[in-house]
Amino acid sequence: MVNSAFLAMGLDSDAPQYEFPMEMFLTGSDLTPLEENAGQIINGLTRWKPRAERRTVDASVKLAVEGKDYYEVISKMNCVFLKSGWGDGLPVLPATEERVSLMLTGTDLGPDAVVGIIPPSGRAATVESLGVNLAMTGGRPEYMPVLIAAIKAFMAPQLRPELLQTTTCSAYPVAIVSGPVGKQIRLNSGYGCLGPHPAHPAGASIGRAIRLVQQNIGGAVPGSGSMSIYGGPARYTNIVFAEDESGLPPGWEPLSRERGFPAGANVVTLYNAASTTNINLLQASTLEVALESLTKFGRIMGSDYGNVFTNYGPDSVPGIVLMPRGFAGGLSALGWSKEKVKTFLWGNSKIPWSVVKADSIIYGRMEECTKGYVLPGDAWPLAVSPKNIMIVVAGGAHSNHGYWMRVGCCPVAPASVEIGLPANWAELLERAEQDLGPFPAV
């Protein structure tokens, strides 16, 4: 735990460490441990020098694996990865020079361009290293622009990546792609948009590449860099999907527009989630039925507040509301704008004061966070304002289900980055159609 905290703060893993008993920091405590270890503390503060070579990786070193045939080589390579503590435990494909070079045709950036410094290790994620990790997932070059933008968003200060990477929470990034690029790379926005889907492979490859970057470059390996107690199935590929913009009702703006980007812009929005809940029997056939459905949605949103109040503020988002086009269209037909739905969910997901006061943990730890926003004795809303509720239209055409993705550790606000397309974009898409066939109908 101490080493993980060191890494999260950007300190070298070989820096001198000494863990004092927590009891020593209480009033009237025994200060003997401080006296007995004063020499070690002084020595660590005055004589230690970082070993810079521990923060670098020699990119010229290449892994060579031999076998009687291709399948034996792949098997042996994966055994080497597991023995070395690399990857996510699932089989990976070899990131050969040819495959990595192919990935790099998906960007106009140079291979040495640094996209981000990934915590807790502090190692640099270059464009080439992103191509390596994408190649290992079986990805394609047209996925590179989204992956690069997603890693840029991942490193945004408001997402606090140093905490996400090292937390005990089972949190993971969720990437929502808006704009034409989602459909162009076959990123799913319809049935099964959170995966899996053989006709829409982009989400799994991009999401898994992000996870490999988190682990292989960032060092967020369970039990050392990452202290997540449970991890979770979503961490294998994170969650990457497209917004169903063609299914938006009249007057409902896409998420990218709400985030301040122009119409038609290709944008990836990243946020950290810790849990998901499927909400069934959502209908909007009549006003009465719609009110019942939205009331249930709000009640479920407020039943598990988790990290919602950890970074309560003007830009904090309690989670992501997913609703399919059928439900959104039904609400719109009854006169509900997206803003009106947000206001209703905001008002009907508040935590009653009696529940807040009875929960000593949340009240004791989070009371300071809500000061200035919530009066004592009032119910606690999940966000400062209804506008902080994030609604995304995605999923199948039916209206029977919705999805609530509660925020995890420990973002202050979501991050959105515009996706830059390379000059050869049309050629990449033409190659994809040759390889994968016509675009899927749904």
pLDDT digits (tens, 9 = 90+) for 371-412: 888 888 899 999 999 999 999 999 999 889 999 999 999 999
Which pLDDT does position 369 carry in this prediction? Answer: 77
Q: Is residue 31 part of a domain?
A: no
Contact 224, 120 (CB under 8 A): no
CA angle 237, 241, 242 (to 5 degrees): 165
How many structural domains compose the chain? 1
Do 421 and 145 contact (CB within 8 A), yes or no?
A: yes
What's residue 204's pLDDT? 97
**Which backbone phi and psi does 124 adopt, to 5 degrees?**
-85, 135
Residue 56 confidence class, pLDDT cut points 50, 70, 90: very low
| Mean pLDDT, residues 412-421 taken together | 98
- Residue pair 91/78 in contact (Cβ under 8 Å)? The answer is yes
Question: What is the C-alpha to C-alpha distance for residues 124 and 55, in angstroms, rounded to an integer?
Answer: 9
pLDDT of residue 58: 47
Q: Are residues 137 and 168 in contact, defined by beta-carbon separation less than 8 angstroms?
A: no
| Mean pLDDT (the chain, rounded) | 90
Q: Is the Cβ–Cβ distance between 154 and 210 less than 8 Å?
A: yes
Residue 41 lies in a domain: no
3-state secondary structure 211-237: HHHHHHHCCCCECCCECCCCCCHHHCC
CB 428 within 8 A of CB 422: yes
For residue 401, tell me if it sits in a domain. Answer: yes
* Structural domain includes residue 260: yes
Residue 15 lies in a domain: no
What's the rounded Cα separation, in Å, for the pair 63 and 66? 10
Nearest CA-CA partner of 239 in 272, 262, 282, 214: 272
Please write the tens of the pLDDT for every residue from 168-215: 999 999 999 999 999 999 999 999 999 999 999 999 999 999 999 999
Which one is predicted more confidently, 133 or 25?
Answer: 133
CB atoms closer than 10 angstroms to residue 229: 11
Domain hosting 340: range is 97-436
Give the pLDDT of residue 30: 81
* 249 DSSP 8-state letter: P
Quick check: is 381 in a domain?
yes
Q: Which residues touch 68 (CB under 8 Å, ≥6 apart)?
A: none
Residue 37: per-residue pLDDT: 80
Give the CA count within 13 Å in the CB-facing half-sphere of 116: 23
CA–CA distances in Å: residue 223 to residues 93, 212, 227, 282: 25, 16, 5, 40
Instruction: Give per-residue pLDDT as tens, 16-46.
Output: 776 666 566 566 778 887 777 888 778 777 7
**What confidence score (pLDDT) does residue 372 get?**
84
**Residue (of 6, 11, 30) closest to 20 by Cα position:** 30
How far apart are alpha carbons 283 and 135 in whole angstroms?
A: 42
What predicted TM-score, i.e. pTM, was given to this entire model?
Answer: 0.88
Yes or no: say if 169 and 236 are a contact pair by the CB < 8 Å rule.
no
Q: Specify the range with the lowest mean pLDDT, choosing from 108-112, 222-226, 304-308, 354-358.
A: 304-308
Answer yes or no: is 79 within a domain.
Answer: no
Q: Please give the helix or strand (H or E) that residue 269 lies within, else none.
A: strand 267-280
CA distance 423 to 203: 23
Half-sphere exposure of 402 (CA within 13 A, CB side): 26
Task: For residue 208, give the nearest of 167, 169, 162, 150 by alpha carbon.
Answer: 150
Q: How confident is the model at residue 133 (pLDDT cuts 50, 70, 90)?
A: very high
Q: Both tokens of residue 332?
A: 């719109």
Structure tokens at 397: 């055409």
Q: What separation, in Å, do the N-terminal and C-terminal C-alpha atoms of the chain show?
A: 46
The answer to whether residue 340 is domain-embedded is yes
Q: What count of other Cβ atoms lies within 10 Å of the Cβ of residue 85?
A: 11
Helix pair angle (287-301, 325-333), 10° resolution: 130
Which residue in this structure is represented by tokens 């990786």? Answer: 57
